[in-house]
Structure 1
Amino acid sequence: MITNKQEYLEGIRDGIPIALGYFAVSFTFGMMAVTGGLGIFQAVFTSVTNVTSAGQFAALAIIISDGSFLEMILTTLIINLRYSLMSFAVSQKIEDKGHIWHRFLVAFGMTDEIFGISINHHSKINPFYNYGAMSVAIPGWCLGTLAGAISGNVLPAMLISALSVAIYGMFLAIIIPPAEKNPILYWVIGGAMLGSAAFAYLPYLKNLTSGFVIIIITVVVSAVAAVVRPIPDPKEEEM
């Protein structure tokens, strides 16, 4: 039987690549925050309390443009709604359902990448695995913000832009290996890409915010995949 300590150490191991990717992306956020008028403490505090790339960048843009609090609340809420779907999925797979605080803590550290590694880790999720990943990923995000905020405008603009690409490559590294074992995932990924392109270029659809786009694509593609190729119930296979 795998102990909580072993799960925690596995989480740290799997979380190190995520932390490195987060450092690069949050470095850019830190630089943009200071350039936009925020102090170093404000930039780091934002990362500590949010831990979300798209939401933070959107909020920063609203702050720089002197937007209202209501606009910021609605924008970040819409962009981050996808984490609710991820938290629902993970909470149903957590081993120890007797302690609800496990689900609250895991939900706080829920990101796209941590969701990716936790949902593919085991059929049942030990919360200590998530804690291990969170214990390196979140500091990586916060330290990257601090380093970027301190650096200011030291790095050239082209290099700053290139740093933000790292997180997309890291996420591809998370979803491609499972797809090699289950080819249906290639169709799911392809469907999500086509849906994303449709919302980016088609009239009316392109006017939707990114948060709503992510939620719609996630629900539609997942529902279609569940109907076309449902995951077999282990109990039924044993019978």
Structure 2
Amino acid sequence: METRMFKVYAKADPAVALKVIRGHFATNHSHINYYIDLTTLKARQNEAQAAAKLLAYYSNYSIVDTIVCLDGCEVIGAYLAEELTKAGVRSINEHKTIYIATPEYHTGGQLIFRDNMQMMVRDKNILLLLATATTGKTLNQSIECIEYYGGKISAINAIFSAVDKAHSIPVNAIFTRKDMPDYQTYSFRDCPLCQKQEKVDAIVNTFGYSKL
């Protein structure tokens, strides 16, 4: 399957690129016609730093107390905190620095923050950072989780997003549908690829893919 991979480069910085495979893939919420591999972008130092610089460049926030990271984006989140601090973004935290926090997936897929983590969320201005947003379901679930623990979503950042906003909050993404105009997401029941009896290539999530 890897032989079908190609790259989509960010217009503002070619050092930031999506590795994309066209096919038929199943996620937890839908079927999609592209798998976006962000493994090195999230884990390789120079790529993560370049992505953080783009997100900071596109952003215009006055206060960020905590960056809540989903999809394994903690490395990018740490660099993003550094870039925002350089740009003069303030924090109301006691130590005048930005927290990097990640919720835990509990039984049944519920997102939670343990007691020792809740001080990073409660009454804080939250920047939500995720790798990809396709249907917006995980995004909405994350916002509801943060608000349940008393956090205030001030901004949403993503590497790739197929949705423009969530809970009326704009999604600020490096890559959008404009960069992949034929990107499609389908419900399990209405997937045209399934209707054509095209086999699913792999089950995918933010950790990667498993061939079938």
Give the structure-2-normalised TM-score.
0.28
Higher strand share: 2
Structure having the larger proportion of residues in helix: 1
